[in-house]
Amino acid sequence: MMTRPLSVAVAGLGTVGAGLLTLLRDNAEIIAARAGRPIVVTAVSARDRSRDRGVSLDGLRWYEDPVALAADGQADVVVELVGGSDGPARALVEAALAAGKPVVTANKALLALHGAELARAAEATGATLAYEAAVAGGIPAIKALREGLAGNRIRRVTGILNGTCNYILTNMREQKREFADVLAEAQKLGYAEADPSFDIDGVDAAHKLAILAALAFGRPVAFGDVHVEGIRAVSALDIRLADELGYRIKLLGIAQREEGGIATRVHPCMVPASHPIARVDGVFNAVVAEGDFVGRVVLEGRGAGAGPTASAVAADLIDIARNRQTPVWGAAAAALDGEPALPMAQHHGAYYLRLMVLDRPGVIADVTATLRDHGISLESMIQRGRAPGEAVPVVLTTHDCHESAMRAALARIGALEAVLEPPALIRIESL
Ligand SMILES: NC(=O)c1ccc[n+]([C@@H]2O[C@H](COP(=O)([O-])OP(=O)(O)OC[C@H]3O[C@@H](n4cnc5c(N)ncnc54)[C@H](OP(=O)(O)O)[C@@H]3O)[C@@H](O)[C@H]2O)c1
């Protein structure tokens, strides 16, 4: 005999919300078996009631105000798919948790900015707050880190966490085109938002990295600690030169335990072409975790879209139907660790530096002298072709050095008269 169905209230019927309704209907039987009871949407909320969403809303209770779903007496669980770190999404999640009602959300901005308070609110009433869909869409990254790898001390988590950026970088490389050109096309095709800044400036990836870092290192989520750079400054030339050096350029999120604390950063990286993450192309996402007993675990899949994201939300609903509960951040709030965050100035690593310089005697000597003055040693230098009196690219790669030294050297190099454009700097990750 089956128990009573789990009654679900869904706020937001956009890409993910409509996808969830479709998934729960198409796979109702298999889900009921796995959940031990049917999972049925009974109430919904969105702004525009008349909009055709490609799914029938017949027989569902309709709410104008998403926050009112928290008080729906018949719903066992609230699913928040509205989006935004504040506003109705936050109000709904807070109201539901305060009422002791389990919440499922796909909202990385909300979790990254307010996840610590929300976890305390969930703990206070014993309610579940589940968010598998918030990081890397269909990839079960949250479950993998929080549960599957829970026996390990995690050394590092690395991810391709934004499909829009990965799509743009992949196309720039394959089609030898510039950033602005590929972005415009991605917007036309619907792979990039009309306002793409959250994606291409690295903010969305940083939200997700903050969440992964909290889980991996058992510390309170701290978005403000993440160093964030996007992909606007990556040029087709640098992508081609990276290829020649045996690297791919990827926007990575990296959370790493180092001496003295935890470093979290999102920025374009050169990664060895042979590393599995280098071959994750297009809209695909990847999460790589390294644990002391398990070694390296690589997860790859679709990081966005109706189907993959709904797949992750459904997994959370099945857990709730089964009464499987895990603390929001893997351990109780009081058991989280206060390990300090390391600032980017303390980063230690190798660098790719590309300059456009006037081809004339002495210029390279000035550049290398400046690097030497800052204690930076060169690994390689490439100058392709000669064009006396004209601009030529010069590429330098360094041995590991400190970010602060590199920044200081770069300021001086950029000010040299023969250096014609702001230097391009990309960090090399040996991974
Ligand atoms: N799209 C993805 O692939 C993806 C992947 C992972 C995570 N997520 C996350 O999932 C969440 C939803 O994303 P989405 O792509 O499905 O967004 P979306 O397509 O823009 O849908 C948002 C939904 O919320 C409703 N809504 C927006 N503002 C509202 C307000 N002030 N009051 C009431 N309803 C409001 C909209 O109503 P109307 O339809 O009436 O306008 C719409 O149904 C976000 O947190 C996003 O970050 C999305």
User: Two tokens at 318?
Assistant: 């099945």
User: Two tokens at 383?
Assistant: 């100058």
Quote the CA–CA distance of 377 and 397 in Å, as a whole number. 9
CATH 3.30.360.10-classified regions of the chain: 141-302
Q: What is the pLDDT of residue 321?
A: 98
Residue 226 in this model has a pLDDT that exceeds 80: yes
- 11: CA distance to ligand 1 center in Å? 9
Q: Which uninterrupted H or E stretch holds 290?
A: strand 284-291
Task: Give the lowest-confidence range in 2-11, 34-43, 298-307.
Answer: 2-11
* DSSP string across 302-330: E-SSHHHHHHHHHHHHHHHHTT----TTS
Integer-rounded Cα radius of gyration of the chain:
24
Contact between residue 287 and residue 159 where contact means Cβ atoms under 8 Å apart: yes
- 18: CA distance to ligand 1 center in Å? 10
User: Which amino acid residue places its CA nearest to atom 47 of ligand 1?
Assistant: 107
User: Which amino acid residue places its CA nearest to atom 23 of ligand 1?
Assistant: 12
* pLDDT tens digits, 363-407: 999 999 999 999 999 999 998 777 888 899 999 999 999 999 999
347-428: which CATH architecture? 2-Layer Sandwich (3.30)
- 222: CA distance to ligand 1 center in Å? 24
pLDDT-derived band at 29 (thresholds 50, 70, 90) equals very high
Give the class (CATH, top level) of 6-134: alpha beta
Ligand 1 pocket by Cβ (under 6 Å): 12-17, 46-48, 51, 66, 81-83, 88, 106-108, 133, 137, 304-305, 309
- Which atom of ligand 1 has the smallest separation from the CA of 108? 47
- Tell which one of 65, 82, 114 to mutate to probe ligand 1, the residue whose CB is within 8 A of the most ligand atoms: 82
- 306: CA distance to ligand 1 center in Å? 11
User: Which amino acid residue places its CA nearest to atom 15 of ligand 1?
Assistant: 15
Q: CA torsion sign, 109 to 110 to 111 to 113?
A: positive
- Tell which one of 60, 81, 193 to mutate to probe ligand 1, the residue whose CB is within 8 A of the most ligand atoms: 81
- 97: CA distance to ligand 1 center in Å? 20
Alpha helices in 139-266 (DSSP H): 141-143, 163-175, 179-189, 197-200, 203-217, 236-245
User: Which amino acid residue places its CA nearest to atom 12 of ligand 1?
Assistant: 81
* pLDDT tens digits, 160-179: 999 999 999 999 999 999 99
- Which atom of ligand 1 has the smallest separation from the CA of 48? 40
Q: What is the mean pLDDT of residues 193-211?
A: 96
Residue 8 in this model has a pLDDT that exceeds 60: yes
* pLDDT tens digits, 282-317: 999 999 999 999 999 999 999 999 999 999 999 999
User: Two tokens at 362?
Assistant: 């002495």
Q: What is the pLDDT of residue 385?
A: 73
Give the class (CATH, top level) of 141-302: alpha beta
- Closest by Cα among 276, 278, 272 to 352: 272
* pLDDT tens digits, 110-123: 999 999 999 999 99
- Which atom of ligand 1 has the smallest separation from the CA of 137? 6
CATH 3.30.70.260-classified regions of the chain: 347-428
- 89: CA distance to ligand 1 center in Å? 10
Q: Is the pTM of this model over 0.85?
A: yes
Q: What is the pLDDT of residue 336?
A: 92
Residue 1 in this model has a pLDDT that exceeds 70: no
* pLDDT tens digits, 85-96: 999 999 999 999
Q: Tell me which residues are annotated as active site.
A: 208
- 46: CA distance to ligand 1 center in Å? 9
Contact between residue 219 and residue 262 where contact means Cβ atoms under 8 Å apart: yes
The helix/strand/coil state of 130 is strand
Average pLDDT, the chain: 96
Q: What is the pLDDT of residue 82?
A: 98
- Tell which one of 41, 309, 316 to mutate to probe ligand 1, the residue whose CB is within 8 A of the most ligand atoms: 309
Contact between residue 336 and residue 116 where contact means Cβ atoms under 8 Å apart: no
pLDDT-derived band at 415 (thresholds 50, 70, 90) equals very high
Quote the CA–CA distance of 331 and 337 in Å, as a whole number. 10
Q: What is the pLDDT of residue 337?
A: 82
Strand partners, 250: 269
User: Which amino acid residue places its CA nearest to atom 19 of ligand 1?
Assistant: 14
- Which atom of ligand 1 has the smallest separation from the CA of 110? 45
Quote the CA–CA distance of 338 and 79 in Å, as a whole number. 31
- Which atom of ligand 1 has the smallest separation from the CA of 80? 11
| Percent of the chain clearing pLDDT 90 (strictly above) | 94
CATH 3.40.50.720-classified regions of the chain: 6-134
Q: What is the pLDDT of residue 2?
A: 58
